[in-house]
Structure formats: structure tokens, C-alpha cells
């Protein structure tokens, strides 16, 4: 039974990252294109930012509402969460700035 719960949680994680990540990435790419950002060169930074944000969201909220109830379910530290969110914000802001400076 524990193996089934672990597999269900893994499927849930993949679904969250693929579905929410895809929606957020598409939104960010549309914002970048409206700003005139070169998506081909700098779009990967937005994707990394989305993945970091989803990781923080999963570790601090979603992991406690899933099927898996085993050990290792801890929130990220406040400092760790702030650092990762700050890195994500920097990655979101860099593409338009870099595209403006180098084009």
C-alpha cells in the first residue's frame, strides 16, 4: 500500500510541475514577447524561475496535502524559501534586461 501512495504522489508531482509549469511558462513567454524580449536566447531563465517557484510551493504547501505520509516531509526553512524566491525573481527579471542591453 505504501508503494502505491508513493507512486500516486510521484504522479501528482509530475502533473503539478508539467501542468502548472506549462501554464506559467506560456504566460511568462507571452509577457516576454510583448516586451520584445529575445525568447530564443533568454527564455530558459523564465523556465528555471518557474521551476524554482513550483519547488518552493510544493515543499512548503502541496507536499502536506498529498498521499504520501512518510518521513522527510518538512517545509523549507524561511531563509531557504526567501533565497530561492529571490533567485527566481532575479531569473524572471533578467531576460528583458539582458535583451534590452544586448540587442
Domain count within the chain: 1
State the pLDDT at residue 17: 92
pLDDT of residue 68: 66
| Host domain of residue 31 | 2-102
Residue 23, pLDDT above cutoff 70: yes
What lies within 8 Å, CB to CB, of 5 at 6+ separation is 67, 68, 69
Please state the pTM of the whole predicted model: 0.87
Q: Is residue 32's pLDDT more than 70?
A: yes
Is residue 55's pLDDT more than 90?
Answer: yes
Is residue 103 pLDDT above 80, yes or no?
no
Residue 29 clears pLDDT 70, i.e. is over it? yes
Q: In the chain, count of helices (H) and strands (E)?
A: 4, 0
Amino acid at each position: 500500500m505504501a508503494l502505491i501512495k508513493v507512486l500516486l504522489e510521484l504522479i501528482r508531482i509530475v502533473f503539478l510541475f508539467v501542468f502548472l509549469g506549462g501554464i506559467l511558462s506560456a504566460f511568462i513567454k507571452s509577457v516576454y514577447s510583448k516586451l520584445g524580449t529575445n525568447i530564443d536566447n533568454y527564455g530558459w531563465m523564465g523556465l528555471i524561475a518557474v521551476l524554482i517557484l513550483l519547488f518552493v510551493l510544493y515543499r512548503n504547501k502541496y507536499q502536506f496535502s498529498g498521499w504520501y505520509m512518510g518521513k522527510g516531509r518538512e517545509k523549507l526553512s524561511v531563509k531557504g524559501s526567501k533565497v530561492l524566491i529571490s533567485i527566481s525573481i532575479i531569473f524572471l527579471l533578467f531576460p528583458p534586461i539582458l535583451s534590452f542591453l544586448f540587442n
